[in-house]
């Protein structure tokens, strides 16, 4: 049985960061200022999960970056790496940045999926995804396990959405 569903009810899943625009100094890129701005923005986004980014590390490209050039920074979210793409929007060192990964609170994801799958099938289902955080690249998937009162189990595939799509789920296998 394959049944796609939307994770609309799982608002504690942190979506890909909306593109955030940031202006660096006119004397050249100020990478410490950029890293600080990324930490601040991500911490706002992760506040509903009561999680905090401790650091962000960005490479220091040699030479002056030009409009259209980009690089990836790494944010440390409680020991998990979250990739952040930084793109220079002009030659005055203005940038946009957005995460390339979606962060899932596994316990909350399981609770939300339990409600969603139960509603979809019309009977009680418990979904277990584990504990802690899971960082998933946009478009990639991971599996949780659904079980009903009779002990029947099925995998539930969760796919991380991107800026133009929502996270989704589907029960895999069965007849």
100: left (phi over 0), alpha (psi -120 to 50) or beta: alpha
- The more confidently predicted of residues 95 and 18 is 95
User: Nearest 10 degrees: CA dihedral of 153, 150, 117, 15?
Assistant: -50
Predicted pLDDT of residue 108: 94
pTM above the 0.85 mark? no
Q: pLDDT of 37-68, one tens digit each?
A: 999 999 998 998 899 999 999 998 887 888 99
Predicted pLDDT of residue 20: 55
27, pLDDT greater than 70:
no
User: DSSP class of residue 120?
Assistant: H
Give the Cβ contact number of residue 23 at 10 Å: 15
Q: pLDDT of 2-13, one tens digit each?
A: 334 444 333 334
């Amino acid at each position: 049985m394959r049944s796609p569903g939307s994770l609309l009810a799982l608002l504690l899943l942190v979506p890909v960061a909306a593109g955030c625009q940031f202006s660096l100094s006119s004397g050249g890129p100020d990478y410490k200022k950029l890293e600080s701005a990324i930490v601040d923005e991500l911490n706002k986004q992760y506040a509903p999960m009561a999680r905090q980014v401790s650091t962000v590390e960005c490479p220091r490209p040699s030479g002056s970056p030009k409009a259209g050039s980009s690089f990836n920074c790494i944010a440390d979210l409680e020991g998990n790496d979250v990739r952040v793409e930084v793109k220079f929007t002009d030659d005055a060192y203005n940038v946009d940045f957005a995460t390339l990964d979606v962060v899932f609170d596994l316990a909350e994801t399981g609770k939300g999926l339990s409600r969603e799958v139960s509603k979809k099938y019309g009977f009680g289902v418990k979904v277990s995804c584990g504990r802690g955080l899971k960082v998933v690249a946009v478009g990639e998937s991971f599996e949780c396990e659904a079980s009903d009162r009779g002990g029947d189990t099925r995998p539930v595939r969760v796919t991380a959405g991107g800026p133009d799509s929502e996270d989704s789920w589907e029960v895999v296998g069965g007849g």
